[in-house]
Amino acid sequence: MNLTRQDVLKLADIAKLELSDTEADALLGDLDKMLGFVDKVRALDLDGIEPLVYMTDRENVLREDLPTEPLSHAEALRGAPGADSDYFRVPRGGSLPE
């Protein structure tokens, strides 16, 4: 399938994208490469080959999700760079106190 610059501009319009001439030409080249890759895959004999779900045969090893006691108010404030009785202290200017 050969795309034209008009095709790219129509796709951009549908996607509500504003493209400069340079961007449209670059996108046309990228889309041509992508469609060329798809054509190469279509040309392969893939009968009997199962679709790949994961790129590796490794499995995630996750810890068991067990409920634990939440931090107490005092424990949470203890780790704060600044605290004032019941609240975290946050400076107005955006930087944390030292």
Residue 31 belongs to a domain: yes
Residue 19 belongs to a domain: yes
Confidence of residue 11 (pLDDT cuts 50, 70, 90): very high
The per-residue pLDDT for 52 is 82
φ and ψ at 87, to 5 degrees? Answer: -130, 155
User: How many domains are contained in the chain?
Assistant: 1
Calpha distance 26→32 (Å, rounded) = 10
Residue 54 belongs to a domain: no
Radius of gyration of the chain (CA): 28
Residue 63 belongs to a domain: no
Q: Is the whole-model pTM more than 0.85?
A: no
Residues 6+ apart with CB under 8 A from 82: 88, 89, 90, 91, 96, 97
Residue 60 belongs to a domain: no
Which structural domain, as residue segments, surrounds residue 36? 5-43
Q: What is the pLDDT of residues 49-70, one digit of tens each?
A: 888 887 887 887 888 888 999 9
Rounded to the nearest integer, the mean pLDDT of the chain is 87
Residue 55 belongs to a domain: no
Task: Specify the CATH number for the domain of residue 30.
Answer: 1.10.20
Residue 56 belongs to a domain: no
Residue 32 belongs to a domain: yes
